[in-house]
Amino acid sequence: MALPFPILTAEEAAEMIQNGDNIGFSGFTAAGAAKVVPFALAQKAKREHSAGRPFKVGVLTGASTGKSLDGALAEANAISFRTPYMGNPTLRKLINSGEVKYFDMHLSALPQAVRYGALGKLNWAVVEVCDILSGGGVVLTTSIGASPTYLHCADKIILELNSAHPAALLGLHDIFEPKDPPARQEIPIYSASQRVGSPICLLDPKKIVAVVLNNQVDETGGFDPATPETDQIGQNVADFLAAEMKAGRIPSSFLPLQSGVGNIANAVLGAIGRSTDIPAFEMYTEVLQDSVIPLLENGRCSFASTTSLTLSQEAMQKVIGNLDFYKKHILLRPQEISNNPEIVRRLGIISMNTAIEFDLSGNVNSTHVLGKTMMNGIGGSGDFTRAAYLSIFSCPSTAKGGKISAVVPFVSHLDHSEHSVSVVVTEQGVADLRGKDPLQRAELIIQNCVHPDYKEQMREYLKQINKTNHEPFSLSTSYGMHRQFEKTGDMRGINWADYR
Ligand code: 0RQ
């Protein structure tokens, strides 16, 4: 059937976008990200810059994206502002040099802020689809992210119709957009597998100004091989959860799991999957990574609700090759729903995210190195952590070859406060912070989580602060280890007297 919309090349479509426009792109991780139009837009920006004309656009996405989107636009210096989560190294440099204005947001809150107009006018939605239906509805691809909201709110729509994703993906998605207050009602999801919306995304066909055909697979990367350290972190989390279930603090039917992105998250899920003490479990999460595919196939994971399929090509081919099975076991939701704190609290989710650093009270820094340099953003970690039944953060106890301790007296940037964090884990062990006062937490964290190279100096830190305070905090010394790292490039061997 001929499409009743203009079929343009990516270059022709990019030509319509003007300097200063704001664009909502599809993509939650590289899965389902727009590819050919942002790449062509980056080439246009380069041409404009060479001709001495300014060209930058505001870029909104679901979360991080692929090299043709964030990568190409950053390399062309074509981004004025960017939100929310990102992960591209070139973009990270521009953000940290101040050339790109970046504001970090909880992913579940982004669509609402767009609908209210809090982020400015949305001129364009550029969204990848695998099918366009005669009534104007579209079938999204390997992620949903914020695409439904961008399609509703943008003045004009460009669709990337990507034949690398089969139209048979129809049925994987469940699109539900809540009404805004005061008309908002509960989101009626009472289990991870419950459908509440539509498998297609409805939109106003009059807004579609271009359909761009392409055939490019998702630019998702593979994973680094597991290391003894990541394996040990995974094992520690799995052992802790099994013991919690045995103690009756997690029901014997278990609770749905959320898991962040990256190698540690992959290792944690792998270990939970292998555990013979944890029953088959469900996931209510935002990112589905490779480690879950064998768990779905062998029944260890009985169902996974997510907003993106962040899979290597090998794992994606498995899904496409067995779509009937996967449609019964996987559901994709908009990020406003996959990450919605209302549902996270209702389902009693166990959240598992990765920290950059955490402190002796249990505060977590997920985003900034030395309090200053943006790494990626908060992503969905806050959506889940604050509302979770049990919130777990894990990370290796040291970074940069041992020169940085990930456990510090006080975090250099605060994303998740001690009130939201239940458990912290390193390869050294687990500290369950629930029901403990700040000094008890500090002692437990030093005992169980701090790397041996740092144990003694952390004990000294605790000794020299005034223990009549409620928090193990000192206005003068709490940043001593960070300050020493800036001076010498190593947090080890601190003389606390130098920082009083
Ligand atoms: O640096 O890349 O130069 O080697 O940070 O660290 O250990 O490879 O771990 O890839 O899982 O990333 C927190 C950034 C961890 C990520 C973070 C350096 C380290 C390395 C990466 P190199 P690892 P990961 C799901 C939920 C926030 C949002 C979130 C993240 C690099 O998990 O962005 O959880 N989380 N969202 O060397 C200096 C420290 C460091 C440090 C690590 N203390 N000081 N550098 N590094 N700790 C995502 C979504 O919502 C989409």
The pLDDT score that the predictor gives to residue 223 is: 73
Q: Count of CB atoms within 10 A of residue 134's CB? A: 9
Residue spans of the domains in the chain: they are 7-214, 228-498
The pLDDT score that the predictor gives to residue 4 is: 87
Task: Pick the residue whose CA is nearest to atom 19 on ligand 1.
Answer: 399
Structure tokens at 252: 């014997």
**Which numbered atom of ligand 1 lies nearest the CA of 365?**
13
Judge if 7-214 and 228-498 fold alike in CATH terms. Answer: yes
Residue 128 Cα, ligand 1 centroid: separation in angstroms?
28
> Looking at domain 7-214, does it have CATH number 3.40.1080.10?
yes
400 annotated as a binding-site residue: yes
380 annotated as a binding-site residue: yes
Residue 416 Cα, ligand 1 centroid: separation in angstroms?
15
* Long-range CB contacts for residues 339-343, cutoff 8 Å, separation at least 24: 339/106, 339/107, 339/108, 339/286, 339/307, 339/380, 339/383, 339/384, 340/108, 340/187, 340/383, 341/108, 341/383, 341/384, 341/386, 341/387, 342/186, 342/187, 342/387, 343/187, 343/189, 343/284
Closest CA to 14 of 36, 33, 40: 40
Residue 116 in contact with residue 147, Cβ under 8 Å? no
Task: Pick the residue whose CA is nearest to atom 18 on ligand 1.
Answer: 399
**Which residue matches tokens 């480690």?**
291
The pLDDT score that the predictor gives to residue 207 is: 96
What pLDDT, in 10s, does the model give residues 127-150? Answer: 999 999 988 799 999 999 999 999
What pLDDT, in 10s, does the model give residues 422-450? Answer: 999 999 999 999 999 999 999 999 999 99
Mutation probe of ligand 1 site: the residue of 231, 369, 376 with most atoms within 8 A of C-beta = 376
Residue 399 Cα, ligand 1 centroid: separation in angstroms?
10
What pLDDT, in 10s, does the model give residues 466-497? Answer: 777 888 899 999 999 999 999 999 999 999 99
Q: Count of CB atoms within 10 A of residue 113's CB? A: 17
Residue 97 in contact with residue 90, Cβ under 8 Å? no
Q: Please, which residues have CB within 8 angstroms of residue 105's CB and are 6 or more apart in sequence?
A: 83, 84, 113, 378
Percentage of residues in the chain having pLDDT higher than 70: 100
Helix (H) or strand (E) holding 378: none
Residue 397 Cα, ligand 1 centroid: separation in angstroms?
13
Structure tokens at 153: 């709110």
Q: Look at residue 367 and tell me whether its pLDDT is greater than 60.
A: yes
Which parts of 298-421 fold into alpha helices (H)? 313-321, 323-329, 335-338, 341-347, 381-387
What is the rounded CA–CA span in Å between residue 374 and residue 378? 10
328 annotated as a binding-site residue: no
What is the rounded CA–CA span in Å between residue 447 and residue 429? 9
Task: Pick the residue whose CA is nearest to atom 21 on ligand 1.
Answer: 356
Task: Pick the residue whose CA is nearest to atom 38 on ligand 1.
Answer: 369
Active site residues: 286
Q: Look at residue 47 and tell me whether its pLDDT is greater than 60.
A: yes
Q: What is the residue-wise DSSP string for 174-207?
A: -B--PPPTTS-------STT---SBSSB---GGG
Average pLDDT over residues 67-93: 98
Adjacent-strand bridge partners of 125: 24, 157
Average pLDDT over residues 216-221: 94
Closest CA to 32 of 183, 216, 203: 216
Mean pLDDT computed over every residue of the chain: 96
Single-letter residue type at 127: V
| Burial degree of 224 (CB within 10 A; 0-12, 13-18, 19+) | exposed
Q: Look at residue 245 and tell me whether its pLDDT is greater than 80.
A: yes
Local structure of 57: helix, strand or coil: strand
DSSP state of 300: S
Structure tokens at 268: 């944690």
Structure tokens at 304: 């996974």
Q: Look at residue 26 and tell me whether its pLDDT is greater than 80.
A: yes
Helix (H) or strand (E) holding 288: strand 287-288
Range among 1-15, 258-272, 391-405 rated most confident: 391-405
Q: Look at residue 48 and tell me whether its pLDDT is greater than 90.
A: yes
Strand 138-140, strand 301-306: pairing: unpaired
Average pLDDT over residues 242-255: 97
Residue 369 Cα, ligand 1 centroid: separation in angstroms?
9
What is the rounded CA–CA span in Å between residue 464 and residue 359? 17
The pLDDT score that the predictor gives to residue 500 is: 84
What pLDDT, in 10s, does the model give residues 279-338? Answer: 999 999 999 999 999 999 999 999 999 999 999 999 999 999 999 999 999 999 999 999
Mutation probe of ligand 1 site: the residue of 29, 349, 354, 363 with most atoms within 8 A of C-beta = 354
Helix (H) or strand (E) holding 9: none
Q: What is the largest CA-CA distance in the chain?
A: 77
Percentage of residues in the chain having pLDDT higher than 90: 94
356 annotated as a binding-site residue: yes
The pLDDT score that the predictor gives to residue 1 is: 57
Q: What is the residue-wise DSSP string for 138-186?
A: EEE-SB-BTHHHHHHH-SEEEEEEETTS-GGGTTSB-B--PPPTTS---
Q: Look at residue 98 and tell me whether its pLDDT is greater than 90.
A: yes
Spell out which residues line ligand 1, taking CB within 6 angstroms. Answer: 63, 85, 107, 260-264, 286-287, 353-357, 366, 369, 375-376, 378-381, 396, 399-400, 404, 406
Specify the CATH superfamily of domain 228-498. Answer: Glutaconate Coenzyme A-transferase (3.40.1080.10)
Q: Look at residue 118 and tell me whether its pLDDT is greater than 60.
A: yes
Strand 308-309, strand 350-354: pairing: unpaired
